[in-house]
A and B are shown apart, each in its own frame.
Chain A
Amino acid sequence: MGGIANLAGEAARRLLPVALLVGLWWALVAGLGVPSRLMPSPAEVGARIYSGLVTDADMWPHLWQTAQATLLGFVLGGALAVAVGSLLAMNRALEKLAYPLVVLLQAVPKVAIAPLVLLWAGFDLRSTVLLVALICFFPIFVGTFVGVRAAPPVLLDLFRTLNAGRLHTFLHCNLPHAAGSIFAGLQVGWGFALVGCVVMEFITGTGGAGFLIDNSANALDAPTAVAAMVLLGVLGYVGGGLLAAARRRLVFWEGEARHG
């Protein structure tokens, strides 16, 4: 099999569902005669994306702002979640004290505290980053906690017979063993992170893809709103794809038939 033929086949497999969706969208809009101010056709949206990215290039600053806030919040929340998840998983006393607290905090919908976050951090990037961090914390925390806890007893026994300290056991056994589970948390968390960012942009109205959607919908400019939505989807997809690729590379032993 030629490499190029394979690549083309792979691209076709990936693009087929997208093509189907666009086709269905087009058929519905044209067939039902939906007015453009309610739901624009794919062609209108495509044209708006083109102008937003190329001719007018007016969407780049918004996209950049969203990407920046989401990424910063994701890194902050993720680092915190891995640290807290690891600590609680490795320390029973700490777990008893703090785990119920984490679950209790999770019970409050994060979106509900967005106005409060705004009050704390002000109308700028900081409040968006903070909400993103809060909202993606939980799935990554759970992924870490479960993964660190799930280290096989026989491996832990091995480390004990070798007189390995707790830190050593954590770094060389629990943490690498948890890598797959942490990545699962990160993949879920990335989706959450984008939600947090868009919600905050709705509220603050100071820019970003979320602001663009809200603002253009209010101005009855549906093509811009849908174009921003599509670009947000691309951002989510690219982030998710990068995480999946990193997982395959770093957790290379995952899903292999035999384990030690």
Chain B
Amino acid sequence: MRPSGRTTRLALSGVSVSYKSRRGPVLALEGFDLQVQPSSFVSVLGPSGCGKSTLVKLVSGLLRPTTGSVTFDGQPAAGPRDDVGVAFQQAALLPWKTAIQNVLLPLRITGQPAREAEARAQALLELVGLSAFRDRYPFELSGGMQQRVAVARSLIRDPSILVMDEPFAALDAMTRENMMIELQRIWQEARPSVLFITHSIQEAVFLSDRVVVMSGRPGRIIADVAIDLPRPRDLHTLSEPRFAQLTGELRDMFQAA
């Protein structure tokens, strides 16, 4: 889908972020190094309050590092980028717009031709399995459907990097498992690099090529585990011994964090 040769790689080097709070300065991230290869799926696993949201804000361009650098293809980041798609913890849909209008929002803001864009939005809704719901409003959709619309929206500008901030946190267990499988399929079709923030070990192992474990605040990386489970993975993967072994290892590291 993406023009070949445009392979953005994300690198965070020696990043620290501190900000002032009412109780004095807070160090959210410290000495943080992370590289994301083109088209790879990397999950960041960490306890709550470890600076995961700070990481999302850094990569989506909402925040600048206090020290260190964030680079895309070796170029330092300067604010939000067109080739980075963001999916937030909440679906963050505009309640007064239909599913397809919500998917089209990023293109409307940049003022791209409507006709082409609509065909693309329709294709993305198909990708997330919601083509029949294109003209429904968010309040007519279930939580999982809303989240899928948000994923489609994050893909509309054909991002080379997709940042997802616990996008399934608000969903029930059954919906989450379905969403994991859906996301894997979407990723295999669109092939962006994905930075997936989560506190679910199962989600991280199921989806990722690599799982990075963060310590408590100030957040830094304490482990980087390659996930060698064959793809495509399905619900049976969840009961394989290798899956249990990997989740077990990660759980131990997570406890230590």
Binding site for B on A (CB under 8 A): 152, 154-155, 157-164, 168, 172-173, 176, 179, 251-253, 256-260
- A161 B92 Cβ-Cβ under 8 A: no
- A162 B139 Cβ-Cβ under 8 A: no
- A157 B88 Cβ-Cβ under 8 A: yes
Give Cα distance in the complex from A161 to B157, angstroms: 12
Q: Contacts A176-B96, A259-B95 known; list 15 others, CB within 8 Å.
A: A154-B88, A155-B92, A157-B60, A157-B92, A160-B61, A161-B80, A161-B84, A172-B105, A252-B137, A253-B96, A253-B137, A256-B137, A258-B143, A260-B138, A260-B146
- A260 B94 Cβ-Cβ under 8 A: yes
Binding site for A on B (CB under 8 A): 57, 60-62, 79-80, 82, 84, 86, 88-96, 102, 105-106, 108-110, 137-139, 141-143, 146
- B residues within 8 A CB of A152? 92
Nearest chain B residue, comparing its CB with the CB of A163: B80
Instruction: Pick 7 A–B contacts, CB within 8 A, sort by A.
Output: A157-B92, A160-B80, A162-B105, A162-B106, A162-B109, A164-B109, A258-B138
- B109 A157 Cβ-Cβ under 8 A: no
Give Cα distance in the complex from A168 to B109, angstroms: 7
- B90 A161 Cβ-Cβ under 8 A: no
Give Cα distance in the complex from A252 to B95, angstroms: 9
Q: Could you tell me the distance in whole angstroms from the C-beta of A69 to the nearest C-beta in chain B? A: 34
- B residues within 8 A CB of A154? 88-90, 92
- B109 A259 Cβ-Cβ under 8 A: no
- B residues within 8 A CB of A163? 79-80, 82, 109-110
Partner of A256, one of B84, B86, B102, B139: B139
- A residues within 8 A CB of B137? 252-253, 256
- A162 B80 Cβ-Cβ under 8 A: yes
Give Cα distance in the complex from A213 to B84, angstroms: 67
- A residues within 8 A CB of B93? 260
Nearest chain B residue, comparing its CB with the CB of A255: B139
- B residues within 8 A CB of A158? 86, 88, 92
Give Cα distance in the complex from A162 to B57, angstroms: 13
- A residues within 8 A CB of B79? 163
Nearest chain A residue, comparing its CB with the CB of B146: A260
Nearest chain B residue, comparing its CB with the CB of A179: B96
- B62 A259 Cβ-Cβ under 8 A: no
Give Cα distance in the complex from A240 to B27, angstroms: 53
